[in-house]
Structure 1
Amino acid sequence: MKGAVFLGDRIVELRDFPDPQPGPGEVVVAIKASGMCGSDLHVYREQAGRATTSGEHINGHEPAGVVHAVGPGVPSDAARVGDRVMVHHYIGCTRCDHCRSGWPQMCTGQSFRAFGTQEHGGHAPFMRVPAAALVPLDDTLSFEAGAAIGCGTGTAWGGLERLGDIGGRTLAVFGQGPVGLSATMLATARGARVVAIDPEPARRAHAQRFGAVAAIDPTAGQAPEALRELTGGDGVPLVLETSGASSAIRDGIAALAPWGKVCLVGLGGEARFGTVDVHRSQMTLMTSWTMSIVQQRQCAAFIARNKLPVDDLFTHRWRLDQVVEAYQEFDRQAAGKAAIVFDDAA
């Protein structure tokens, strides 16, 4: 089969790989949609020769599809051929407390691996995974929605979970790319009053269609002042930063109300502040690394139950043989969510 690999310096190509066969405790998933994640761009742009751009592993860590084959030792209630599934894209030792609580990405057993980097990922017709990494995909959700929930949308859910009870409270979401838009949609459905911040007019408009009560262009003036004006001078109690921009982190902290919380999801920025300036704010500054496998299932159930329009995140769907063009377009970061889709994974 063909699989897409990153070679560094913005080069992606298709290479031949053996069709995977399931071992004990494993299944093979026939991929129907494999999401393209913003974090892919860090590897796509990486200097050639780095370990993550070696071309040894198929990329793509947002897979969804159907169970194609089941290996020995997999209980029938864990996986059966034809099951619609998502994949939690981390593997741990399965024995440490973090793994047992559904957080293999926090594994302390020196066994942490991620699909798409240390293990073959979803940018191929088939993918071998441990049966324990499967998450059911509701019949009402598309495979593209399942791919989004597997990382980008699920990451937004994980950040909201870190912030705690958001119902009835004002939440500023910095960045309205796929993760930020997902946060706007999910937080609105959970009862928050969302203010969206993004420099792109189309993304701000999309956020308001997803329920944002206001949208701010951070390049047009002072975003913290605009947020304070929207809150009667109080500042916002909750901030979710999804863009990875240092300026957004700075503005989010500056816009906080006393006792406010900031959760950092975006990658690449720096948080710099003087402790004297924030000491009396009693703020909480936290990070959120995607979501647990339990939260992935809960996020999918919430979306299905509330009929949320996750498919509206997508602006591009590409065939595997279009992967070069797909990442060239994605690298411009001017569009919404994208996925590699397979009409017939067989």
Structure 2
Amino acid sequence: MATMQGVILPGNSTVDFDEFEVPKPGHGQVLVRMKASSICGSDIRAIYRAHLGKGPEGYRPGTIAGHEPCGQVVEVGPGCRRSRVGDRVVIYHINGCGVCDECRKGYMIGCHDEHRAAYGWQRDGGHAPYLLAEEATCIRLPDSLSYIDGALCACGFGTAYEALRRMQVGGRDRLLITGLGPVGLAAAMLGRALGAGPIVGTDVSEDRRRLARELGLVDHAFAAGGSALENILDVTAGRGCEAAIDCSGAAPARLTALEGTREWGRCAFVGEGGDVGFEVSKLLIHKQITLFGSWVTSLNHLEELVERLDRWDVHPEATCTHRLTIDRAAEAYDLADKGQAGKVCIVFDE
């Protein structure tokens, strides 16, 4: 039996490798040769630093990490109806039970069945040369998009797209983004493609503010805290933005997102963890704001996103600042943990 080296995360801010058998696809499954597998902020927060989640949604120690995988089908199991050897695929990062209300809507992230399993958390993920995937979670990657484009869609860009879609962001809107990490950069890139503008961003990191400017994703990038709200109001004629999204998960940034939302505007929270306190009457009720809590996108909306990126000629890979081979996985996680980079991606030989 052929074997491979896979990345596992002990939970103490280190990376280990272990030997795994190259899996064989069963009924309705495909074997995917990995081409790109990016690192998500949730991997850092809830697995790399410490195993925060418990039970069926927690990381299972010894599982190959990586829930943002993209690659090429090299073997097709019995019962597959659409997949072919050679297909380039993005993989929706959770496989649910398939029959509950959330799964039937395509939101397998919300499946509460005991058999729900996320790649890189409860079942082996993309930080290894091969990944065993359910055919139902595979989405065809157009030739115009790179494997890194596809990996970034699997969670980060999908998360940003879902929130923007739910807020119906478009050409009528100025867009405020608090937190210019990978998801914030994704929100800016997609917001631009949807016609929003001007786009205003805030972040504590000058490196990330500089990257957002250099990529042309924001029209204004302000330091978080301090005079951030004053600056936001200054560039919006004192009104704020019609749509805002917090991608940081930090309480001060969430507050800035609400404060910077115009009356009758829409605001979404997608940054994980933490909490926030605010004057409900002053900031939400009296301003008549609609506040969205938005998690991961659906299988259907991820497929829609991939199609639109192809049509728009928009490439998420532009937000990837570091590409490292799997033998440098420890360095990759350390870079992602520092919170100064754009997207960090593990890449594999062609």
TM, length-normalised to structure 2: 0.93
CA distance in 2, matches of 1:143, 1:309: 10
Counterpart of 1:13 in structure 2: which amino acid?
D
Identify the residue that residue 33 of structure 2 maps to in structure 1. Answer: 30
CA distance in 2, matches of 1:74, 1:152: 28
Q: Which runs of 4+ in 1 moved over 6 A?
A: 48-51
Alignment pair present for 1:317 and 2:323: yes
Counterpart of 2:96 in structure 1: which amino acid?
G
SS, match of residue 17 in structure 2? strand
* 8 Å Cα contact 2:207/2:340 also seen in 1: no
CA distance in 1, matches of 2:20, 2:265: 50
- Per the TM alignment, residue 123 of structure 1 is displaced from its structure 2 partner at its CA by 0.3
CA distance in 2, matches of 1:53, 1:102: 22
Per-residue deviation, residues 121-156 of structure 1 (Å, max 9, x unmatched): 000011111100001101011101100011111211
* 8 Å Cα contact 1:177/1:336 also seen in 2: yes
- Per the TM alignment, residue 222 of structure 1 is displaced from its structure 2 partner at its CA by 2.3
Per-residue deviation, residues 163-182 of structure 1 (Å, max 9, x unmatched): 11432211101111111111
Match of 1:248 among 243, 249, 253: 253
* 8 Å Cα contact 1:5/1:53 also seen in 2: no
Give the stretch that moved more between structures: 43-52 or 311-320.
Answer: 43-52
CA distance in 1, matches of 2:123, 2:303: 22
Give the stretch that moved more between structures: 294-303 or 16-25.
Answer: 294-303
CA distance in 2, matches of 1:178, 1:80: 32
- Per the TM alignment, residue 271 of structure 1 is displaced from its structure 2 partner at its CA by 2.1
CA distance in 1, matches of 2:110, 2:5: 31
Alignment pair present for 1:330 and 2:336: yes
CA distance in 1, matches of 2:59, 2:92: 22
CA distance in 2, matches of 1:67, 1:283: 45
* 8 Å Cα contact 2:207/2:341 also seen in 1: no
SS, match of residue 163 in structure 2? helix
Per-residue deviation, residues 224-256 of structure 1 (Å, max 9, x unmatched): 222222221112221110011110001111122
Identify the residue that residue 260 of structure 1 maps to in structure 2. Answer: 265
Identify the residue that residue 199 of structure 1 maps to in structure 2. Answer: 204
Alignment pair present for 1:302 and 2:305: no
- Per the TM alignment, residue 333 of structure 1 is displaced from its structure 2 partner at its CA by 1.4
CA distance in 2, matches of 1:146, 1:249: 29
Over the matched positions of the two proteins, sequence identity in percent amounts to 38
Counterpart of 1:45 in structure 2: which amino acid?
R
TM, length-normalised to structure 1: 0.94
CA distance in 1, matches of 2:135, 2:60: 27
1:16-55 aligned within 5 A: 16-42=19-45, 43-46=47-50, 52=58, 55=61
CA distance in 2, matches of 1:11, 1:22: 31
Per-residue deviation, residues 174-229 of structure 1 (Å, max 9, x unmatched): 1111111111111011110111112223322332333322221124x322222222
- Number of residue-to-residue matches in the alignment: 341
- Per the TM alignment, residue 54 of structure 1 is displaced from its structure 2 partner at its CA by 5.0
CA distance in 2, matches of 1:124, 1:294: 27
Match of 1:96 among 83, 97, 100: 100
CA distance in 2, matches of 1:248, 1:241: 7
CA distance in 1, matches of 2:17, 2:53: 17
Per-residue deviation, residues 3-59 of structure 1 (Å, max 9, x unmatched): 100101112111011111101111111111111111110110005997755532111
Identify the residue that residue 291 of structure 1 maps to in structure 2. Answer: 297
* 8 Å Cα contact 2:60/2:122 also seen in 1: no
* 8 Å Cα contact 2:59/2:122 also seen in 1: no
Alignment pair present for 1:222 and 2:222: no
* 8 Å Cα contact 1:6/1:54 also seen in 2: no
RMSD of Structure 2 on Structure 1 (CA): 1.8
* 8 Å Cα contact 1:3/1:123 also seen in 2: yes
CA distance in 2, matches of 1:210, 1:303: 17
SS, match of residue 39 in structure 1? helix
Counterpart of 1:293 in structure 2: which amino acid?
L
* 8 Å Cα contact 1:8/1:49 also seen in 2: no
* 8 Å Cα contact 2:185/2:217 also seen in 1: no
Q: Which runs of 5+ in 1 are unaligned?
A: none
Q: Which runs of 5+ in 2 are unaligned?
A: none
* 8 Å Cα contact 1:182/1:310 also seen in 2: yes
